[in-house]
Structure formats: C-alpha cells, structure tokens
Amino acid sequence: MKALVIDDEPILRQLIKLNLESLGLAVETSVNGAEAFGLLQRFDYDLVVSDINMPLMNGIQLYRLIAERLPHLTGRFVFCTGSGVEHEIFFKESNRPLLYKPFTLTDFKKAVACITGDVFFDRAAFGFQVLPGSMAKACA
C-alpha cells in the first residue's frame, strides 16, 4: 500500500512518514496542497494524511479539488490540524477522520485503520473495531 503525507511542518511530516513506514506502507511526502495535487494526479495512493492549515493550498481546498477532479480518492483522506473547530461544517459534510494535534499514536492508527480497512492492525490489541462501510462508527 502507498501513502501520501501532506504537512508543512517538517518534524510532524517526518514522524507520520516513519510511523506509516513502520506499518509497511510506502510513503511519499508533500509540503502543501498544491504540490500534493500534482502527486495525486500522477500516482495512486491508498491513504492520504493531510494537514489543514498549509501555505499555497490548504487541506480543505485540496480535498475539494480532489472531489471535483479525482473523486475516487476522497475516501482515502485523514486530516490533522492544530487549530480549533472552525472547519467543523466541512468535516460533518465530508465524514473524514480528523485528528487534533497533538494526537496519540493509537488515535493515529485508528484513523489509518478507518481508511485501510484494518489491514495493518490487530483489533484486540487496539481495543476497537473497524466496521467496513461504517466510517462514522469506526472512527468515533
């Protein structure tokens, strides 16, 4: 499986990349939504982890562009943010997992499992159940 990590914060981008690689995913990174859009047009990713607040094109702008031009990828997004709840309407509409920084490794793995269909995780070890086709229940 292949993942794209989009974040303008180098340390967080690298930490997410390393965690995903430890799970066996091939990972590419991008520093903003504009750069990421180019990658998403050229390569197929199974998972996209995106920050919200970034220069040039933020995560929500990227998601909306993807929904318009590459809609098959919208279900592969997990978002993370350090800001408050100003984007809450978007998340209710999109039904995508959202992690507030700083987030725990367990919460990150739960969000990834929502997208990957629990491919990498032992459900009992993490104390949660991923229900196929039931994103709201799986990520609650």
User: What is the DSSP code (8-state) at residue 30?
Assistant: E
> Can you give the pTM of this predicted structure?
0.82
Q: Which domains does the chain have, with CATH numbers?
A: 2-139 (3.40.50.2300)
Instruction: Output the six-digit token pair for 41.
Output: 């047009």
Distance CA 89, CA 56 (A): 22
- Asked whether residue 88 carries a pLDDT value surpassing 80, the answer given is no
Distance CA 104, CA 110 (A): 10
- Asked whether residue 2 carries a pLDDT value surpassing 90, the answer given is yes
Q: What is the mean pLDDT of residues 58-65?
A: 95
Instruction: Output the six-digit token pair for 56.
Output: 């040039």
Burial of 116 (0-12, 13-18, 19+ CB in 10 A): buried
